[in-house]
Structure 1
Amino acid sequence: MPFQHPEEVGYGYVIERYVTRKDSEHARYLQLKSGRVLQPGWPHAERFTRHLIDDAATITDAELEALLGYEWRSRLTAAWLIGVGRRATFRERIGDLLLASEFCFSGSAYCFALARFGTHADAEILTAYLDRYLPRTDLRYDQPALLRLDAHHADRFTESDGLWDQWAQALAHLQDSPDYTPAEQRRWTDLHCDFASGWARP
């Protein structure tokens, strides 16, 4: 499917409203990408998060589709809104985008959304993703969301000398990095999901 600017489908306002919206000194997509909202002591955390929760509850399916049809910044933001709002009707769409892997950066947001849904179907999507991409040692893909969902699904990837070890050891910048152990990746995804759960509307 060709990429379309939201203006082409009658939703030109969604980029400024949801993606580049400035709840602090930087655009929303930058804050989501950096994970700054999870860092203790960030002074804008409460305001930023409340706006994110509100938008996740009120954005329409058509607006989300307009964002998902465009580039990585809009897709990353849309996936976060879908995950925070637990819009499970977007499972297939998110899965298709994850498996296509057309852009860098947005993949982590797709994994977050699937981890928030947290069902067997989501684990199956992530398993298919890892089967396709972990053997690709020319790419930087990881599996934190899979660990969050189901250790049974993750075991065959994380066993000693399994696909995870082979992938991490093949990339010089990941070798012996504590940030890319399965346990650390699981911890980071837990932080994201617990953050979203803690701020969810009643």
Structure 2
Amino acid sequence: MPFQHPEEIGYGYVIERYVTRKDSDHPRYRDLQSGRALRPGWLHAERFTRHLIDDAATITDAELEALLGYEWRSRLTAAWLIGVGGRTTFRERIEDLLLASEFCFSGSAYCFALARFGTHADAEILASYLDRYLPRTDLRYDQPAALGALLRLDAHLGTHRADHFTQPGGLWDQWVNALAHLRADPAYTPAELRRWKDSQCDFADGWSRS
């Protein structure tokens, strides 16, 4: 599907309303990408989370589609809104975008949405992504986010899909070892990847409850 600016289909306002709106000193997509909302003591946390919850509840499916049909910033924002809002009707759309990996950065948000949905179907999508992209040690897409999400779902569903990737000398080790500077980086251990995904999802659970 060709990329379209939302204004081409009558939704030009969605970029300013949802993607570049400022709840802090940065546009929303940058706050989402950086993960600063999870940092204790962030000055703008209350306003940021309140607006995000509100938008996740009120954005229409057509507006989400307009964002998903454009570039990485809009796709990242849309996927977060889908995940926070639990819009499981977008599961297949998220699957298609994740497996296509057309842009950097946005894939981590797709993984967040799938982790939030929390079903066996979502785990299968993440496993399919890792089956496709972990053997590609020359490509650095969203493998860490996908593995963290799959590990979270394994823990919640009582499954072991991630074992195939994390066994010693397996696909995850091969992917990490392909770049020397990642080998000793604790951020790329399976335990840390799951901790980060847990932090995102548990925080989003708290937003939803409040």
Q: Which residue of 1 aligns with 2:195?
A: 187
Is 1:174 the equivalent of 2:182?
Answer: yes
TM-score, normalised via structure 2 length: 0.94
| Corresponding residue number in structure 2 for 1:113 | 113
**Secondary structure of residue in 1 paired with 2:97:** helix
- Alignment match, 2:94: 94
Aligned residues: 202
Deviations 1:143-196 (A, max 9, x none): 111111115110110111110011001112211110000000000000000010
SS of 1:110's equivalent in the other structure is helix
Distance, in Å, in 2 between the alignment partners of 1:165 and 1:30 is 30
> Unpaired segments of 5 or more residues in structure 1?
none
Which of 156, 165, 176 is residue 164 of structure 2 equivalent to?
156
The runs of at least 4 aligned residues of structure 1 exceeding 3 Å deviation read none
The SS at the match of 1:153 is: coil
Aligned mates of 1:43, 1:24 — CA distance in 2: 8
Aligned residue number for residue 132 of structure 2: 132
2:77 is matched with: 77
Letter in 1 for 2:197: T
Consecutive unaligned residues of structure 2, counting only runs of 5 or more, are none
Task: State the 1:201 CA deviation.
Answer: 4.7
Distance in 2 of aligned mates of 1:173 and 1:11:
43
| More displaced stretch, 183-192 vs 134-143 | 134-143
The answer to whether the Cα contact below 8 Å between 1:68 and 1:78 also exists between their aligned partners in 2 is yes
Amino-acid identity (%) = 82
Root mean square deviation, CA, Å = 0.9
Residues 54-113 of structure 1 deviation map (CA, whole Å, 9 limit, x = unaligned)? 000000000000000000000000000000000000000000000000000000000000
What TM-score comes out, normalization by structure 1 length? 0.98
Aligned to 1:191, the other structure's residue is in SS state helix
